[in-house]
């Protein structure tokens, strides 16, 4: 994983407004935002957007990714198909913190139809602030990586 402060954001059409709010929020914290869209409300397929963001994280171009769709579930499933990505969908800050601390997650998925803007920003903050604990969790993350082979 890169040590950069670059973060990729993407969504489907249902989550454009929330994605843009997240982008502004993390940019204000000093992150370099790579927003790969979409920008128009026409229906778009969440698998394409999840995979495109995941490829940016897996390649090392971006340290983290935040992806959004209606529930967060579908876009998370697509992102997790990209080798090297560990993405969890979260609707609370505790879970977002735990996927970083225990699973070394490098991507976060949020459901725009599940959480409001204030909670979404809290979730993103918890995710970005939490370090990977390593220790007893490291062998488990290695087990997850081994499943990709």
* Contact between 50 and 79 (Cβ < 8 Å): yes
Distance CA(128)–CA(27), nearest Å, equals: 12
* Contact between 31 and 41 (Cβ < 8 Å): no
- Given the structure tokens 């983290």, which residue do they identify? 64
Distance CA(112)–CA(19), nearest Å, equals: 9
- Supply φ then ψ for residue 77, to 5 degrees: -60, -40
Upper half-sphere CA count for residue 54 (Cβ side, 13 Å): 24
Instruction: Name the token pair of 121.
Output: 């920003």
Active site residue 102: yes
Active site residue 69: yes
Among 13, 62, 69, 90, the one annotated catalytic? 69
User: Exposed, middle or buried, 11 (CB in 10 Å: 0-12/13-18/19+)?
Assistant: buried
Known catalytic residues are 69, 102
């Amino acid at each position: 994983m890169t040590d950069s402060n670059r973060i990729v954001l993407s969504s489907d059409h249902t989550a454009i407004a929330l994605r843009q709010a997240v982008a502004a929020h993390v940019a204000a914290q000093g992150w370099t935002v790579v927003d790969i869209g979409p920008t128009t409300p026409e229906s778009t397929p969440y698998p394409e957007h999840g995979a495109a963001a995941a490829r940016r994280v897996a390649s090392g171009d971006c340290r983290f990714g935040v992806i959004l769709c209606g529930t967060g579930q579908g876009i998370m499933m697509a992102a997790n198909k990209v080798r090297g990505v560990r993405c969890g969908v979260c609707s609370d800050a505790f879970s977002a913190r735990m996927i970083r601390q225990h699973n070394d997650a490098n991507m976060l998925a949020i459901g725009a139809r599940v959480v409001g803007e204030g909670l979404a920003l809290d979730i993103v903050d918890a995710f970005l602030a939490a370090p990977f604990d390593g220790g007893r969790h490291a062998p488990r993350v290695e087990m997850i990586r081994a499943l990709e082979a």
